[in-house]
Amino acid sequence: MEAMGILVFLVILVMGLPVKGQLKAGFYSSSCPKVEDIIRSTVASHFNKDPAVAAGLLRLHFHDCFVQSDGPSWSVPTGRRDGRVSLASQVLPTLPSPFDSVAVQLQKFSAKGLDDHDLVTLVGAHTIGQTSCQFVKYRLYNFTSTGNSDPTISPSFLSHLQTTCPKDGDGSKRIALDQDSQTKFDVNFFKNVRDGNAVLESDQRLWGDEETRQIVKNYAGTFRGLLGFRFDYEFSKAMVKMSGIEVKTGYQGEIRKVCSKVNY
């Protein structure tokens, strides 16, 4: 499925389904009855000018719903505060440190009411978007104390990454998180994880953990993945589920009048 299709679908779905708190279907039916059409046309317009907007919006959704109170350890670098959608490195965060296991990630998700399936599904958002070489280089040249590369990277992909991100090269150089279909929202990302071709260490670790490996297998497989339809369906469900985390109601929180600065 193209990134635009899944993004518009998610926007409408999130606004149309009841979740925790006081959110409910038809909330804007009186105050803004055409809100879904307005959002659809606006997103479509921006996406047609810059397809990378899809990854940026997914990232903002994650940070708004999941991160909010978790502090710097969950922050994603290269964010923006100038009122524009950030096209930063990851849609979801990498592990807070290279020593954290998938179990730690699962604990963080569990604390928010999400499970292991939600974790793998939401990380699948890395099927679109980019990161910077500076967040990959340590896997290529300095993963161990002796300077070896990350052994979970397949030899052929390691060579590709080292060519793309030379040891003394520009750390700000962008690299697609899904090397083979970076503009399509599909299950190729999970095939990359299965084959040792994940760009981020945190993504590759999904294959090394027993709890998450089977989920990756199912998404990557033709039969159990149902030709990709399973991921499309379950990703939208996970996004809606995440949108219900700690919903702020009444006078809680703040809606910025100008996106680039807090209200005064």
Tokens of 90: 């990851």
CA 249 to chain centre: 25
Q: Is 131 flagged in the annotation as binding?
A: no
* Spatial separation of the C-alpha atoms in residues 69 and 119, rounded to whole Å: 18
Contact between residue 158 and residue 199 where contact means Cβ atoms under 8 Å apart: no
CA pair distance 83, 80, nearest whole angstrom = 7
Please say if 46 is a catalytic residue. no
Integer distance in angstroms from the first to the last C-alpha of the chain?
42
Q: Is 70 labeled as ligand-binding?
A: no
- Residue 227 and residue 223: Cα distance in Å, rounded? 7
CA angle 210/212/215 to nearest 5° reads 115
127 is in an annotated binding site: yes
- Dist. CA 248–CA 74, nearest whole Å: 20
Residues 6+ apart with CB under 8 A from 158: 140, 149
CA gap 152, 195 in Å, rounded: 9
178 is in an annotated binding site: yes
Provide the token pair at 223: 């039969």
Using the 8-state DSSP alphabet, how is residue 94 labeled?
P
Q: How is 128-195 classified by DSSP, letter by letter?
A: S-EEEGGGTHHHHH-SSTT-PPPTTS-HHHHHHHHHHS-TTS-TT-EEESSSS-TTB-STHHHHHHHT
Q: Among 46, 61, 63, 160, which one carries the catalytic annotation?
A: 63
186 annotated to a ligand binding site? yes
Binding annotation for substrate: 96
**Residues with catalytic function:** 63
Residue numbers in the known binding site are 96, 126-127, 178, 186
Positions at the binding site for heme b: 126
